[in-house]
Amino acid sequence: MGLTQIVVQLKVLPFLVDRLGEWRLLKVSIFIFAVSFFALLVSFHPLLLLISVGLIAPGQGLATPAIQALASETVSPKEYGETLGIMQSAGSLGRIAGPVIGGLLFTGFSKSAPYIFVATLLTLTVLFLLSQHQERRQLVR
């Protein structure tokens, strides 16, 4: 997955940022991410499983830089370090809590529960992003 993210970020990301901008790119990438987790739920054929897993890395590879760019555009230059540090901490917390929550869902409910949970969270995120009618602009410079 890491190699896929590198290729996406080096080759695809600059093209999409120029075409869509960070805000639309974030919406598209989270949508791809959500679709990949829903596809995992119905992947009864190995090819569909490979396709759905293969969509996770591009979705994440496009979303992460878009989130960082949008965050840096909404704060003053003095706050860049603090903002990106908070984002890094939130990501670390997610990498710690995610497997714990996934394991609890897996053992407490079903083997599909972690995927349903993530797909639902991503779908809610997409719906929230779509409800934001305006293109986000730089707030402070």
* Better-predicted residue by pLDDT, 77 or 100: 100
117 belongs to a structural domain: yes
pLDDT confidence tier of residue 134, bands split at 50, 70 and 90: low
* Better-predicted residue by pLDDT, 141 or 65: 65
9 belongs to a structural domain: yes
137 belongs to a structural domain: no
Give the domain extent around 24.
Answer: 2-131
* Residue 4: predicted pLDDT: 78
Mean residue pLDDT across the chain? 87
Q: Is 120 in a helix, a strand, or coil?
A: helix
**Interval 98-121 mean pLDDT:** 95
* Residue 14: predicted pLDDT: 86
Distances in Å between the Cα of 16 and the Cα atoms of 1, 19, 26, 90 are: 20, 5, 10, 26
pLDDT confidence tier of residue 13, bands split at 50, 70 and 90: confident
77 belongs to a structural domain: yes
Distances in Å between the Cα of 126 and the Cα atoms of 29, 111, 119, 134 are: 9, 24, 10, 15
Is the overall model pTM greater than 0.75, yes or no?
yes
* Count of the separate structural domains present in the chain: 1
* Residue 57: predicted pLDDT: 85
138 belongs to a structural domain: no
Please say whether the beta carbons of 41 and 113 come within 8 A.
Answer: no
28 belongs to a structural domain: yes
Distance CA 41, CA 35 (A): 10
139 belongs to a structural domain: no
* CA-based nearest residue to 111, from 30, 34, 40, 32: 40
pLDDT confidence tier of residue 133, bands split at 50, 70 and 90: low
48 belongs to a structural domain: yes
Q: Is 7 in a helix, a strand, or coil?
A: helix
